[in-house]
Amino acid sequence: MSGDVAVLGAGMHPWGKWGRAFVEYGTVAARAALADAGVDWRDVGSVVGADTVRGGYPGYVAGATFARALGWQGARVSSVYAACASGAQAIATARAQILAGLADVVLVVGADAAPKGFFAPAGGDRPDDPDWLRFRLLGATNPAYFALYARRRMAVHGDTPEDFALVKVKNAAAGALNPYARYRKPVTADEVAASAVVADPLRLLDICATSDGGAALVLSSMTYARVHGARDPVRVRAVSTVTPTYPRTVLDLPDIATDSAAGSAPAAPFRESIATAAYEEAGIGPEDVSLAEVYDLSTALELEWYEDIGLCGRGEGAKLVREGTTALGGRVPVNASGGLASFGEAVPAQAIAQVCELTWQLRGTAGARQVPGARVGITANQGLFGHGSAVVAVR
């Protein structure tokens, strides 16, 4: 049996700081995805929500919240929380339901109304929570965390702040072409260099913001897609949600343990293993990829993803951005959407938004940011506590 499911519809609510509830953003995105799919809400058999944890009370509500907002019609619901990987986990849940025959059509929704500034640690003592340990014991808020990655790249691979700035310049140029992006203004390397230092060596324009926004997908079985006239839809071919393998030879925040269940060093670092599992499931390799959407929490981290998803060897990420390989018009554009640099983080929505971008690119409907001849795309993301996230979409 094929593991493919069809992407019948994609929809988003623009990212920004709108001051409204996350339910509104997700409902707008869901209705847009249903309209794009040409599917009536009453024909949806399941709703999978990527959770927000700031939406009223600590119940991690999502699936039922959006089903109620759209109007109760009896669909089954699921809710998924994996921090930044929540969207990909929701897509994986939806695909499993479709392939198991539990539903022909599934609506996947994620939305958030994020606080201002960087994400602060939640209150209370949680010594079993790796993220609590990162914040409370190490003092490593997100900007500090990103800066440690950047410093490691500078020390090990010789990357420079000028290389990091090129990533922001590239993504801002793409984001200026995206009507859903929060920041739609090109920036120069000089403007990046002139922005305030947040956590050395990273400056304000090297780090993504926190945002409000929503994204949704309508997924279906291939049989349903054909019967309803979608003869050549974009397909989700693989979803990777793998966990790390221990021992970790290079410590990685927030998970700073090295306890081993494997007994020997893993063949690949965690983020690389996420992409490898997706490629293996899809039956493709990095050489087949037309474009990628990766998790650019910082400019330096994007360079690391180039290597993790196999676009180049270790330490060669900066070379790709210097040569324009990953820019629009380059050999393998990365973050043609503008990335988190242009959107900011709306945590439960961002992995879904990545697949929305792949969908529009593979359809050839991405407008001024269109990647010519796009046939295969991959997303890469990472959630807390070992939640991997990669999706391969093809046409």
Question: Rounded to an integer, what distance in angstroms lies between the CA atom of residue 216 and that of residue 198?
Answer: 33
**In sequence order, what are the residues at sequence separation of 6 or more whose Cβ sits closer than 8 angstroms to the Cβ of residue 57?**
none
Task: Give just the sign of the alpha carbon dihedral 187, 191, 195, 200.
Answer: positive
pTM: 0.95
Please list the pLDDT of the chain residue by residue as tens digits (395 residues): 468 999 999 999 999 999 998 999 999 999 999 999 999 999 999 999 998 875 444 456 789 999 999 999 999 999 998 889 999 999 999 999 999 999 999 999 999 998 887 777 667 787 877 777 888 877 888 888 899 989 999 999 999 999 999 999 999 999 999 999 999 999 999 999 999 999 999 999 999 999 999 999 999 999 999 999 988 999 999 999 998 887 666 666 666 666 555 566 666 888 999 999 999 999 999 999 999 999 999 999 999 999 999 999 999 999 999 999 999 999 999 999 999 999 999 999 999 999 999 999 999 999 999 999 999 999 999 887 788 899 999 99
**In sequence order, what are the residues at sequence separation of 6 or more whose Cβ sits closer than 8 angstroms to the Cβ of residue 326?**
170, 306, 311, 320, 332, 333, 334, 335
DSSP 328: T
What number of helices (H) and strands (E) belong to the chain? 13, 11
